[in-house]
Structures are given as structure tokens and as C-alpha cells.
Amino acid sequence: MGKRMGRPYFQHRKKTMRIGKIVLLILVFIGFYACGEEEKKVQKNVEIEAPAPDPIEFGFNLNDYVVIKDTVRNGDSFGEILQKNNIGYSKIFQIAEKTKDTFDIRKLVAGKPYTLLCTKGDSLNRPECFIYQKNSIDYVVIKFKDSINAYTESKPVKIVEKEASGVITSSLSASLDDAGLSQRLAYDMSDIYAWTIDFFRLQKGDEFKLIYTEKYINDTTFVGIDNIKAAYFKHNGEPFYAFQFETDSIKQIVDYYDENAKNLRRAFLKAPVRYKQVRISSRYNLRRRIKLYGNRIRPHKGTDFAAPIGTPIISTANGVVVESARRGGNGNYVKVKHNSTYTTQYLHMKKRKVKVGEFVKQGDVIGWVGMTGNTSGPHVCYRFWKNGRQVDPFKQKLPDADPIDERLKDSYLEYIAPLKTQIDGIEIQLPQEEALITAIN
């Protein structure tokens, strides 16, 4: 019986072994196939790596040249730069003559970068192109390999919209620093609100919100603030909106108006100097004691704006210069008559820029801060007459500038509607200490 039962057993065992061998072969084949596919993938990845693109700058393939990059130094001239790079005087003269209508080579500024593109294969590396960067965006190209020609170009600029907000703790500049924002925004805001907010008397707790644009080249390199599209400033509990709007596309006249289409400008600026690096050191005070006069009470009928010597002094409104002289305690001064009601005067100038009879526009530079006359430090004393009597300009209700044209009012209101919704939706960014206290509470 064991003999009869043995044959089926061994037949079954042989069959099982054959199946096992087949399965093993299949697994080995799959393994080799998988390794082969993985190797193909690796090879495929290697094959798709593209070579680095040629470096293109200023419209030139830099691989085609020997490139020399440098910076204009004090005392450098266009001729000296080319001469020390193996360009002869006669060639330099030709270049200067043929390009003078496009670019004045005498206007190279120390600190500005320049690039020389030189011929490859020339042992002297003679330049055939000079590129001068006037700023981070604009540059001048002067080509002189065969023929001579010059042209001005600009790098492509990308405009990116940003939002910002903050709370005044001590000053606008400090609040911008706390928020990591550019100080250029302080300057721009002071210009926008120059007629409606006294930036020398901001209150702790005042708030601001901004919608503004920044400029970038090559998508990543920041090259500055473009402009402020919309602003909100809450000062002494009162909200002030400002929206940028172009009223004349041909003349490119742009101004700022509030949410009711009222022009933010007034007939007079609040101050005769720009906000940056300036402070009010003494106000209009009829009972002020003055050190220079033995601490006796002598009326001070002006407002003193302390600023570094050489700071530009601007006319606060359109008008005609009626006095420009140096006299006694006033030192160098300029007086401007704006109309039959208002006159302004600017004292202690280092130097005067305008003469009697000249018409000056609001914002025009009429002189520079100095220490002439009776003064203990550099400042401009700003005096304001109304109907022939000196008054405090900060307590006057000054006339508004011209309102927006009625024909543009509807289109303006339609344009600012989404901007107002956007700026109203910006959350105020609290200073770090206040934000921490709020979070704890």
C-alpha cells in the first residue's frame, strides 16, 4: 500500500518544485526589470537637465564679451575711464562729439556703476561698448565698435501692490520702522496730507493704513516705492481718506482727493520745509521769553522749523516775491505776497534763491536753511500775514484748492469704491508690545 501511495506523492512534490522554480524565475525577472526601469529613470533625469541660460544684461549676451564692471570714482571722467582701458584720445573725442545730443559725458556721478563690454580674442581687451547706470532702472548705452551711437534704456519693471498699517507711538518714522516699512512712505504721506494734517503734532494712538505699489526688476530686486494709491489716516479721532486720481491724462495731472471728491490740497502748505529731518522748535507765542534778549518777554510772531543747514525752504503757496534781502535780526529772508489777503516770510536763510518780482509756485525752493541774523541754531522762522497782521498759521482756516471737475466726479467715485472697501478691510498692525499685551488678554 505504501508503494502504491508513494508515486502520487513524489509526482506531487516534483510538480510543486516546478511551480516554485517558475515563480522564482518570474520574481527574478521582475527584479531585473524594475532595476532597469529605475536606471532608465535616472538616465532620463540626467538627460532633461538643461544647460544654464546665457547671462543677458542690458540687452547683450555677456558670454560674447570680456566684461569689466566698476564704479565711477571721485575725479573720474568718461575720457579717463576709456583711456585707461586702451581707447585713444582721438576716438574718445569722436565718441563725445557724436553722443552729446543723447548723453552729456560730463554728467558721470561718483558712486554710479558702469560696465565695459570688450572684444574677446583681443589681447588688449579693447572696449566696444560703455554702459552707465544712471539709477537702478535707467541706463545709457554708448556703442563705438564700428559706428558710434548712444541710447537710453530702462530695465523692465514689475509693479507689485502692497498693504500696510500702523499706530503712532512716538513718531511716524518710528512707527514705520516698527512695521518694517520704508521711510519713503513717511515722506510721501507727509506730502499727501501736507494741507490737512500737521505732521509735527501727531498724537500717540493715531492710525494709518496704506495701499501702495513697489517696483521690482527681475521680479526679485526691490528698487523703491512707486506711489501711494490710497491712504487712511486717523488723527485726533478724525479719519482722513486720500485716493490718487488722474484728472488729466494728456498732461498727466494727478492729485489726491477724499471719499467725497474733495481736494486734499489747500491754498497753503502747513510748513515751509519737507517733513523729513525737520521739527518745530518754537511756535507762534506772544508771551515767549527769549534768551538772546535776557529772557525778557518778547512776542514771537513766527513758527521756527529746526532743520540741518542747507535744507531746502519752499514757498507754501503761489505768489510773487516782494522782498529778498539781508537785514538785521532777520538775516537772509524772502517775503512772498500771495494775494490781497495773505503774505508769508521766511527768515535766517543761508542763501536766497529768488529775486524780487519773481513768481513762485507752491513747493518751489526759494532758499536754504541757515543761521543768519539773530538765531541760536539752524532753522527757518516762518511768518504769516493775514490782512496785514501777523497771525498763527496753524490757527487759520485756510482756503481750499480747486475741487475736482464736476464732469469727473461720478467716474472718480466709481473708481475709488473698491479701493475704499479694500482699505477699510485692512487690519491695523499694532506695535509689538501692544500686540503682545492684546494677545495675553
Please say whether the dihedral angle defined by the alpha carbons of residues 358, 364, 365 and 369, taken in this order, is positive or negative.
Answer: positive
Query: What is the C-alpha radius of gyration for the chain, rounded to an integer number of angstroms?
Result: 36
Instruction: Write down the pTM of the prediction.
Output: 0.59
The pLDDT value given to residue 437: 42
pLDDT tens digit at each of 441 positions of the chain = 444 445 555 555 555 566 656 655 555 555 555 555 555 554 445 555 556 677 888 989 999 999 999 999 998 999 999 999 989 999 999 999 999 888 888 889 999 999 999 988 777 788 999 999 999 899 999 999 888 999 999 998 999 999 999 999 888 888 888 888 888 898 888 888 877 787 777 888 999 999 999 999 877 888 889 999 999 999 988 999 999 998 877 767 788 999 999 888 777 888 899 865 567 877 877 666 666 566 666 777 888 999 999 999 999 988 899 999 999 989 999 999 988 889 999 999 999 999 999 999 888 999 999 999 988 889 999 999 988 899 988 888 777 777 788 889 999 999 999 999 999 999 988 765 554 344 443
Contact 170, 203 (CB under 8 A): no
Cβ neighbourhood burial of 441 (10 Å; 0-12, 13-18, 19+): exposed
279-395 folds as Glucose Permease (Domain IIA) (2.70.70)
* CATH architecture type of domain 156-266+401-441: Roll (3.10)
Contact 344, 382 (CB under 8 A): yes
Cell numbers representing residue 441 in the block: 488678554
Would you tell me which CATH number, out of the four given (3.40.1180.10, 3.10.450.350, 3.40.50.1220, 3.30.43.10), belongs to the domain 58-154?
3.10.450.350
d(CA 336, CA 359) in angstroms, rounded, equals: 9
The pLDDT value given to residue 3: 45
Q: What is the DSSP string of 251-302?
A: TTEEEEE-TTS-BS-BSS-S-SS-STT-EEEE--BTT-EEGGGTTEE--B-E
Cell numbers representing residue 306 in the block: 529746526
Q: Answer whether 156-266+401-441 and 279-395 agree in fold.
A: no
* Residue-range domain boundaries for the chain: 58-154, 156-266+401-441, 279-395
The pLDDT value given to residue 277: 59
The pLDDT value given to residue 270: 81
Cell numbers representing residue 56 in the block: 543677458
Q: Which residue has the cell 504769516?
A: 384
